[in-house]
Amino acid sequence: MIEIDQLQKSYGAVRAVDGIDLRVARGELFAFLGPNGAGKTTTIRILTGLTRIGGGRAAIGGHDITLEPQAAKRQCGLVPQHVNLDSELTVRQNLDIHGRLFGMAPARRRTRTAELLDYVEMADRIDQPVKQLSGGLKRRLMIARALMHEPMLLFLDEPTVGLDPAIRRRIWALIKRVQQDGATIFLTTHYIEEAEFLAGRVAFLDQGRIVALDRPQDLMARLGAWAIDRINGEAMETRYFATREEATSYSASQDCGFTLRRVNLEDAFLSLTGKKVS
């Protein structure tokens, strides 16, 4: 669904995207992780036609984004980081405008609006002004809007930022449902557990380059299964172990406080880059 070869983008002397190669299969839920400034949003902006490509090649659903920009864009739906709904309009009107922009016939716009609001459990909000919605409902509406023209590929750029844990998990369930219904999903997030739970494969991006790409469980398995965190002076040290027994044996030999836990995806990212996903 996504083909990227040596993708590049610079802003002055800053290389935001530095020679990325990537393939994302149809129906895959793929996570793109990295710290602020790693190039995640720039990559999405290029793929969705919002930023011009600086070098290399990218295609969406077989359509080159430079040679066939309109055909490529029609394959995509986008949920950006920031809420960009029209707050003065109703839920229905926001979806209707999006349908108009994609040339959908009036009857299809009405049918699709009803389908999607049922899908995101907002049918009872159809005539409510967006400015009256909670943050979680706005995020659900943005996902519905992105799906309005029935795209094959959905870009989610930090779709749960700022939401409380309970609402975030409701959005996770909706994202998994969208994938199970056949869409390809390209996800960026700062919530490491989000990618660990949702994604079939994960790419770690650092300074515009992919430094690792694998299934979450395989990236974590490179370190071990268990971790011990302990304070050493002013620093936090973490050691990794294949089994809980090994970790427990090590901790018994220490004379300072420690925390025993399972290895997570952020451990894998830290071990590769020395940075947190933030």
pLDDT score of 124 more than 80: yes
- Asked if residue 198 has pLDDT above 90, the reply is yes
Per-residue pLDDT, 259: 86
Name residues whose C-beta falls within 8 Å of residue 231's C-beta, 6 or more positions apart in sequence: 237, 256, 257
Tell me which of 138 and 190 has the higher pLDDT.
138
Interval 43-67: pLDDT, tens: 999 999 999 999 999 999 999 999 9
Q: Using an 8 Å Cβ cutoff, are 109 and 100 in contact?
A: yes
Least confident of 134-148, 153-167, 194-208: 153-167
Residue 272, pLDDT score = 86
Note the pTM of the prediction, 2 decimals.
Answer: 0.89
pLDDT of residue 186: 97
Reply yes or no on whether the pLDDT at 275 is more than 70.
no
Q: Which residues contact 117 (CB under 8 A, 6 or more apart)?
A: 91, 95, 123, 125, 126, 144
Q: Please state, in angstroms and as integers, the Cα–Cα distance from residue 8 to each residue in 2, 12, 47, 272, following that order.
A: 16, 13, 12, 22
